[in-house]
Structure 1
Amino acid sequence: MSHKFKIGQRVRQARRPSSVDSGSAASSIFEIVRLMPEERSGEPAYRVKSAAGERAVLEGELTLAS
């Protein structure tokens, strides 16, 4: 499986059903800074950054920001 997003693209992290916050993190815009190896499940992973810092996320958690 190849990566859907490219370095430099702006993405939004989708809300997780188990999330207890008010949605502020879910509406944050991130920039893809690195393509990471696929997880054991075969799902591509990314390193993303925002004003709040950097984190690693799975492709299924991201949508393209408009």
Structure 2
Amino acid sequence: MTHKFKIGQRVRRAQASATDARLGFGLVSEIVRLMPDDPTGEPSYRIRSGAAERAVRESEIVAEA
């Protein structure tokens, strides 16, 4: 599949958990790397919020308005 988001684009988690919010991932994050598709064929990304970084699937994030 083709990645919907680009490096440097600002996104936020579609449904942030309590742990995500505590780590700052409920807020706006930035795409820092495009990763290969996961085993199901869904594109993945590395996102950064402050000093924390994590991997997410495309369905887990939405563009920041």
| TM-score calculated relative to the size of structure 1 | 0.83
> What is the CA distance between 1:26 and its match in structure 2?
6.0
Cα pair 1:14 1:26 within 8 Å, conserved: no
Question: What is the match of residue 10 of structure 1?
Answer: 10
**Number of positions where the alignment pairs a residue of Structure 1 with one of Structure 2:** 63
RMSD after superposition: 2.0
Q: What are the residue-to-residue correspondences of 1:1-66 with 2, within 5 Å?
A: 1-15=1-15, 19=17, 21=18, 24=21, 27-66=26-65
> Larger Cα Rg: Structure 1 or Structure 2?
1
- Alignment gaps of 5+ in structure 1: none
Cα pair 2:32 2:46 within 8 Å, conserved: yes
> What is the CA distance between 1:14 and its match in structure 2?
1.1
- Alignment gaps of 5+ in structure 2: none
Moved more, 4-13 or 45-54: 45-54
Cα pair 1:15 1:23 within 8 Å, conserved: no
| TM-score calculated relative to the size of structure 2 | 0.84
Q: Which structure has more helix as a fraction of its residues?
A: 2
